[in-house]
Amino acid sequence: MEETYLLNVEGVRKKILHGGQGELPKFQDGSKITFHFQTLKDDFERTVIDDSREAGIPMEIIVGKMFKLEIWETLLSSMRIGEVAEFWCDAIHTGMYALVSRGMRRIAEGRDPLEGQKHRCGMGNMFDYHSTGYDDLDELQRTPQPLIFIMELFRVEEPSAYKRDTWAMSKEEKLAAVPVLHSEGNRLVLRKEFAQAAAKYQEAVICLRNLQAKEKPWEDGWLKLESLVTPLVLNYCQCQLELGEYYEVLEHTTELLQKHNDNAKAYFKRAKAHAAVWNEREAREDFLRVAHLDPSMAAAVKKELKQLGERMRKKHVEDRKRYQGLFQPSQGP
């Protein structure tokens, strides 16, 4: 079955290679589209540039989330489930393809798609665009040209029908997800599944940090979100203590205390992490700060300091024995 259609979009032609099933799906904002694609040059050989089947993983995009190659959303929205179609797109629609392809290739190779762009200003990132790291994509950047996309549509899922990644959620969805994730984390802690609990707390923190990025620091909106972040970070750190990830705890509690230097619980967790990695002086300082900030924790601090003293004395004895053994002359047979 081959029929050519115009999609009422300048510079686009569609040819159906295999008919789909049922009615046209509802492509509402937040819907997830799953499909395979093949990208070809519009030359005599129809040179293949990319083929998602070679990677073995279908492509997914979220409707309304401003995928870099905007024309793909338009093309897919004209398809039925199971349909295979070929689209010819003029260069006005394909200028961003090299950058999109670079990201997809890096993901397929197990690399960071943003490699080389982290911690750089927008002007700095622009200079990266002179080379994608792939010769064929560099050619596309230098000479924008029409491309052919062959797509097979597998499914269209409504926003409520699948677990959405954090980045794909709206502000309201992120706020609604946070207490659910917090509760799931608490439930997993009770079952002593600390790694899984930490992942839930971390996901909730990411939701809130994404929202905070759109607020002015230290203003009301930012502070309200920060008040939700703090207990989640502390819960995450407690899980990391249970898992023996002490340097992870030191990093996150220190970052928290740079903004909230009166948080006794953060000092307490950092003190325990310092004690675990034999930082005796830092541990004692943090434990004493806890007792000063929150007298109700004085008994817990006293217990921890006693345990710290016993552990350090035992370590000193063991170290002394070990060093003495190193310098004693060996006896002959």
Q: DSSP per residue over 274-303, as a string?
A: HHHTT-HHHHHHHHHHHHHH-GGGHHHHHH
Write down the architecture of domain 171-325 according to CATH: Alpha Horseshoe (1.25)
Kindly report the pTM of this predicted structure. 0.54
Strands 32-41 and 59-62: antiparallel
Q: Which of 26, 12, 267 is nearest to 158 (CA)?
A: 26
286, 267 Cβ separation under 8 angstroms: yes
Q: pLDDT at position 31, please?
A: 85
In CATH terms, 4-157 corresponds, of 3.30.70.380, 3.10.180.10, 3.40.50.300, 3.10.50.40, to 3.10.50.40
Q: pLDDT at position 125, please?
A: 41
Tokens representing 175 are 């706020």
36, 37, 38, 40: CA torsion to nearest 10: 170
Domain borders along the chain are: 4-157, 171-325
322, 289 Cβ separation under 8 angstroms: no
Q: pLDDT at position 161, please?
A: 60
59, 52 Cβ separation under 8 angstroms: yes
Q: pLDDT at position 111, please?
A: 58
Distances (CA, A) of 224 to 43, 175, 196, 209, 215: 57, 12, 27, 12, 10
Q: Which H or E run contains 15? A: strand 12-18
**Alpha carbons 249 and 236: distance in angstroms, whole number:** 9
**Alpha carbons 104 and 313: distance in angstroms, whole number:** 55
**Alpha carbons 116 and 130: distance in angstroms, whole number:** 13
- What is the total residue count of the chain? 333
Reduced to 3 states, what is the DSSP secondary structure of residue 89?
strand
The stretches in the chain having pLDDT less than 70 are 1-6, 66, 110-130, 160-169, 325-333
**Alpha carbons 284 and 302: distance in angstroms, whole number:** 10
Q: pLDDT at position 126, please?
A: 36
Q: pLDDT at position 3, please?
A: 58
Q: pLDDT at position 122, please?
A: 38
Q: pLDDT at position 119, please?
A: 38
